[in-house]
A and B are shown apart, each in its own frame.
Chain A
Amino acid sequence: MSLLADKTSRPAAPHADSAAAFAPEQSRAERTRSYAVADFPLPTGREEEWRFTPVDRLRALFRDEPTGRCLDWQESLPAGVTITGMSVADWQASGAAAPADRAAVVAAAHSGGVGVLDIPAEACPTEPVKVTLVGDSGDLVHGHLLIRAGHHAKATVVLGHRGRAAYSEVLTVVAGDGADLTVVTLQEWDDTSIHLGQHDVVVGRDASVKHIAVTLGGAVVRLNTNASYAGPGGTFEGYGVYFADAGQHLEHRLFVDHEAPHCRSNVEYKGALQGDGAHTVWVGDVLIRAAAEGTQTYELNRNLLLTDGARADSVPNLEIETGEIAGAGHASATGRFDDEQLFYLQARGIPEAEARRLVVRGFFASVVSRIGVPEVIGHLMAAIDEELGAV
């Protein structure tokens, strides 16, 4: 069963607003994927995929109507890289992964068109592709972007999000055979902004895709990243860094769907939390289907609570339908800031504020070292230092 061919699948029974709708799913693969808004009833917050999310604050993003608004785009495109448009109908016909929740299906239906960023086959731009989306009015915006890397292309795309907005988006990333693509999505919104996103990553045969989420700003940010493989031999790496302050809800959900054989996935997300009501959620689902022999997968989530009053939810799920795999594992841990580490550094003369920064930087170091995009790392470290300055 191919995820690409699966775009209009839906549960046998129609959704009804009753207990029946909440029967526990037997497999992660059973969740609805569809272009039809009607296939996704309004979330109540009791559904598995919404149970950690403050859905009451997201009502406007579930409403089935266009807003006619858009974000301001700032682009920096290396030679050969283009941005064009595509109609929603053409996009649906292209076989791209379908929306998987109410917000995504509404965004896909009302975006008014798909922005298409193309990196030609075999192109290897040395500079990253940069697209920054900026909101200034706090308006509700539906967005839809498709990033395509041709076969054997090698590129880095940095997608920035800033300003004030309620942004609901669908991002599709398709890496051709043998492509080596890094997509960095930076969430540096103002504290009032809301951002819901569904990111679908399709890894071509022998291709390698790194999806990196850096979430620092926004009142509510929820990114669902789904990875699938169009052929054998592909590698998906999903890395994330998040830092939640008082009142922020930052949620990252990943679903790696191994259906092709001899593919690899590695997911590592690390988050720090500080202040009253800071809330982070990480859900990592991995499904290894019967055909996905030789799969190698690992997922890890670590959370560091810097103060009282913060809450981190972390749920790894691993579903395996074949015994013929190379390896599968997951780890999750949430801990408090270790005062003994602080004491140790201070006992060597390092002032408290600097010692704190070192400990938190050290906590993030393993995932940051995997990002591999120097300017993003420098920027991220400065942003983390700034967050810590606010303690």
Chain B
Amino acid sequence: MSTLEIRDLHVSITTDEVDKEILRGVDLTIRSGETHAIMGPNGSGKSTLAYSIAGHPKYTVTSGSVTLDGEDVLAMSVDERARAGLFLAMQYPIEVPGITVSNFLRTAKTAVDGEAPKLRTWVKEVKEAMGNLRMDPAFAERGVNEGFSGGEKKRHEILQLELLKPRFAILDETDSGLDVDALRIVSEGVNRAQETTGMGVLLITHYTRILRYIRPQFVHVFVDGAIAEQGGPELADQLEDEGYDRFVTAGV
């Protein structure tokens, strides 16, 4: 059983030499096997939370803490966080030309596990995972995200999630830009990974439709850089009916 604990997290970004505070004291605790949905209007800081946990250099943590089973995540480099068991499925995965997907996956797996995977079982595992996500095997020999469509990039993110088996996965608007078939396939991948590994999931989304496939036990409404309200799955249903207006006006 692992715990990812976020305490009073304040995060700023610097643009044109002006600091702007995006996160204003976030508190959140996620345990293995749990699924938390973070919902909120655009610009509320949801993605900032995701990238701050992953350690993107653009974001500066000004106070607060993030710990994984008591270990200080904020003191770790980006790759150390990943090796500690954190995974960020990005909203806009980056293209890295010239590195094949298969080479990338093997290199990442080796880094995360601390040893190279056994060739025969690894090849089989990759093939099977790609099949489950309805990915053409030819993708293995293409450059990382190079020329992938939006939907292909998302499948590739979930492929990595299934293969790297993190302790906690943060899914940053994984549903955006997916048609209903792709949304189902990707969601099944997340559920499969959770069943296999018992990972905790932090699902960041603007809309409720992905919650029909990935059922959260906890729903947090994110407004203006902090959690404004939390509850169970019924809160998501309420948001679907009412939208974010209530929170946005309250914030003004």
Contacts and interface: CB of A to CB of B under 8 A. Distances in A.
15 contacts: A339-B57, A340-B94, A344-B96, A345-B96, A345-B108, A346-B78, A346-B82, A348-B160, A354-B107, A358-B99, A358-B107, A359-B99, A362-B98, A363-B97, A365-B97
A354 B77 CA distance: 14
B151 interface: no
Given A339-B57, A343-B56, A362-B143, A352 B98 contact: no
Given A343-B56, A344-B90, A362-B143, A349 B112 contact: yes
Nearest to B112: A349
A340 to B, nearest CB: 5
A210 B96 CA distance: 28
Contact of A347 (B78, B97, B143, B144): B78
Contacts of B79: 346-352, 355
B98 A365 contact: yes
B54 interface: yes
B83 A349 contact: yes
Interface residues of A, number: 24
A359 B146 CA distance: 13
B111 A361 contact: no
Nearest to B163: A348
A349 B96 contact: no
Contact of B78 (A343, A358, A361, A364): A343
B93 interface: yes
B94 A344 contact: yes
Interface in A336-391: 338-341, 343-352, 354-355, 358-359, 361-366
Contacts of A352: 77-79
A341 B56 CA distance: 12
B193 interface: no
Contacts of A344: 90, 93-94, 96, 144
B88 interface: yes
B164 interface: yes
Contacts of B99: 358-359, 361-362, 365
A217 B79 CA distance: 33
Contacts of B77: 346, 352
B158 to A, nearest CB: 13
B98 A347 contact: no
Contacts of A341: 94-96
Interface residues of B, number: 29
Q: Kindly list the 10 A-B residue pairs having the minimum CB-CB distance in the complex, ordered from nearest.
A: A362-B98, A365-B98, A349-B82, A348-B108, A346-B78, A349-B111, A344-B94, A349-B112, A346-B79, A362-B99
A359 B104 CA distance: 11
Contact of A362 (B87, B96, B108): B96
Nearest to A345: B96
A273 to B, nearest CB: 17
Given A343-B57, A355-B79, A348 B112 contact: yes
Given A343-B56, A343-B57, A350 B107 contact: yes
A340 B51 CA distance: 12
Contact of B111 (A339, A343, A350): A350
Interface of B: 54-57, 77-79, 81-83, 87-88, 90, 93-99, 104, 107-108, 111-112, 143-144, 160, 164
Nearest to B54: A347
A358 B94 CA distance: 14
Contacts of A362: 96-99, 143-144
Given A347-B79, A350-B111, A358-B107, 13 more contacts: A343-B56, A346-B77, A347-B55, A347-B81, A347-B87, A348-B108, A348-B112, A348-B160, A349-B164, A354-B107, A359-B99, A365-B97, A365-B98
Contacts of B111: 348-351, 354
Contact of A343 (B94, B95, B97, B144): B94
A205 B55 CA distance: 59
B96 A358 contact: yes
A349 B94 contact: no
A345 B144 CA distance: 10
Interface in A245-278: none
Nearest to B114: A349
Contacts of A345: 96, 104, 108
B9 to A, nearest CB: 19
A351 B82 CA distance: 10
Interface string A318-351: 0000000000000000000011110111111111
B56 A361 contact: no
A338 B96 CA distance: 9
Contacts of A363: 97-98
B159 to A, nearest CB: 11
Nearest to A365: B98
Given A349-B164, A350-B107, A354-B111, A361 B82 contact: no
B88 A347 contact: yes
Contacts of B97: 362-363, 365-366
A352 B111 CA distance: 11
A301 to B, nearest CB: 16
Contacts of B96: 341, 344-345, 358-359, 362
Nearest to A366: B98
A348 B86 CA distance: 9
Contacts of B104: 345, 348, 358
Interface in A297-318: none
Of B82, B98, B104, B111, most buried by chain A (CB within 10 Å of CB) is: B98
